[in-house]
Amino acid sequence: MTAGAQEQPTQAGILLEGFLSLGTPEGFRAELIEGEIVVKPLPDGDHEACINAVLKQVLRKSRTDMDFSGNKGLELPRGEEDRPRNHAVPDGTFAATKRRLFRGADPWMPCEGVALVVEVTSTKPQADREAKRRCYARGGIPLYLLIDRDAGSVTLFSDPEGADYRQHLTIPYGKPLPLPEPFAFDLETGDFG
């Protein structure tokens, strides 16, 4: 490139710039997942009741003190070279208190140090089941908890490698789900349904 020549913007760069400058309408939130801007309405009360049930148990039963953030923006690795980095907003994000990840964090923070993300299916359940699962695995987030309201089940994905998790355990509502370290307790799922 010659001196003074400007680099041409890439399609991925234009998409990311547009996403980051997006003025999301009140009552909605936006994410950039696998090259697609997704705008969703804020969650309903049953959705938030599921998150609240997980939060209460983690704070009460976990072996490690955990900090929690609802709707924290995470910047995650891109899936394909021609796409921008993914920007996901999990319904819940947990990190060990000693990590102090949320204090002073930018609106879109890196995912390093996140112990667990939680998603509760709502208007776009396939994104939670597939695209976001791949994004979280690529980011190396050790645990992904999916509360699937349509299926009446809870799945814990663990052991991320590449663009997916190597292990998963799915149970129906009402059965306990063992959470590994650093949580080390059985998550009661009866309040999800």
| Whole-number pLDDT of residue 9 | 76
The SS3 of residue 41 is strand
Q: Where are the domains of the chain?
A: 11-192
pLDDT in tens, the chain (193 residues): 445 556 667 877 777 788 778 778 787 788 888 888 888 888 899 999 999 999 999 999 999 999 999 979 999 998 777 788 899 999 999 999 998 999 999 999 999 999 999 999 988 899 999 999 999 999 999 999 999 999 999 999 999 999 999 999 999 999 999 999 999 999 999 999 8
The SS3 of residue 159 is strand
Measured CA to CA in angstroms, residue 81 lies from 37, 63, 111 at distances of 17, 39, 19
**CATH number of the 11-192 domain:** 3.90.1570.10
pLDDT of 40-52, one tens digit each?
A: 888 899 999 999 9
- Dist. CA 13–CA 48, nearest whole Å: 34
The SS3 of residue 69 is strand
